[in-house]
C-alpha cells in the first residue's frame, strides 16, 4: 500500500464521520447535566435539614457545579479535537 492511497482513505473516512462530533458532545453533556441536578438537589436537602449552614452549603454547591460543568467543557473541546 502506498502512502498516497492511505492518505486518500483517511481523508474519505474523515468526511464520512463529520457529524458525529455534535452527537458525541450531546452524549457528553448528559453526565454533567445529571451531576448538576444531583448536586443542587442534595444541597437543597442539606439546607432544609440545617438552615444555619446554608452559606457554607451554598458555597460548596457552587464549587461542585463548577467542577461538574468542567466535564461538559472538556467534552466540548474533545469534540472539536477529535
Statement: the pTM of the whole predicted model exceeds 0.85: no
DSSP summary character for residue 52: G
8 A C-beta contact, residue 38 and residue 71 = no
CA-CA distance, 78 to 21, in Å (whole number)? 9
Unique residue bearing C-alpha cell 440545617: 50
Task: Give pLDDT tens digits for 61-72.
Answer: 999 899 888 887
Task: Give pLDDT tens digits for 18-62.
Answer: 667 677 777 777 888 898 999 999 999 999 999 999 999 999 999
List of residues 6+ apart from 30 with CB closer than 8 A? none
Amino acid at each position: 500500500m502506498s502512502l498516497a492511497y492511505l492518505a486518500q482513505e483517511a481523508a474519505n473516512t474523515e468526511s464520512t464521520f463529520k457529524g458525529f462530533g455534535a452527537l458525541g458532545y450531546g452524549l457528553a453533556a448528559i453526565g454533567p447535566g445529571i451531576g448538576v441536578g444531583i448536586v443542587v438537589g442534595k444541597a437543597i436537602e442539606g439546607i432544609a435539614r440545617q438552615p444555619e449552614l446554608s452559606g457554607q452549603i451554598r458555597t460548596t454547591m457552587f464549587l461542585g457545579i463548577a467542577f461538574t460543568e468542567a466535564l461538559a467543557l472538556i467534552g466540548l473541546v474533545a469534540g472539536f479535537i477529535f
